[in-house]
Amino acid sequence: DGGITQSPKYLFRKEGQNVTLSCEQNLNHDAMYWYRQDPGQGLRLIYYSQIVNDFQKGDIAEGYSVSREKKESFPLTVTSAQKNPTAFYLCASSLKVAGPETQYFGPGTRLLVL
């Protein structure tokens, strides 16, 4: 059963704490993405990766970090430098970055600040 999984579904962060959101895909896609969605807003790109061990900043990368050690996995760390982290975080993947490739989304992680 192919798809994208994200965990946890809900995550609570305390002030000054770093938290990591998991994203795994078994679609054999090269490209993976992280988006943030705030209420009434469109999706904003945080980071993306075209290939293992390579990633690029999106439009709102400050306060976030990523790694891509395996093709299947693209975890996102929300650092303490991100002052307004409360949002719905969506991971996506596509066959590749270039060209008109469709992006498919995981179920999302909702991050809340305590």
Compute the least distance from the CB of residue 106 to other proteins, in Å.
6
Closer residue to other proteins (CB): 80 or 88: 88
Compute the least distance from the CB of residue 61 to other proteins, in Å.
13
Contacts with other proteins in 48-67 (CB under 8 A)? 48, 50, 56, 58-59
Compute the least distance from the CB of residue 66 to other proteins, in Å.
15
State yes or no: residue 2 binds other proteins (CB under 8 A).
no
Strand segments (E) across 1-114? 4-7, 10-13, 19-25, 31-37, 43-51, 54-57, 64-66, 76-78, 87-94, 104-105, 109-113
Compute the distance between CA of residue 9 and CA of residue 102 in angstroms, rounded to an integer: 24
Q: Choose one: 16-24, 60-68, 79-87, 103-111; the region binding other proteins (CB under 8 A).
A: 103-111
Residue 14: partners with Cβ closer than 8 Å, 6 or more residues away: 113, 114
Compute the least distance from the CB of residue 97 to other proteins, in Å.
5
Compute the distance between CA of residue 16 and CA of residue 38 in angstroms, rounded to an integer: 21
Q: What is the CA radius of gyration of the chain?
A: 13
Q: Which residues of this protein are in contact with other proteins, per CB under 8 A?
A: 40-45, 48, 50, 56, 58-59, 90, 97-98, 100, 102-108
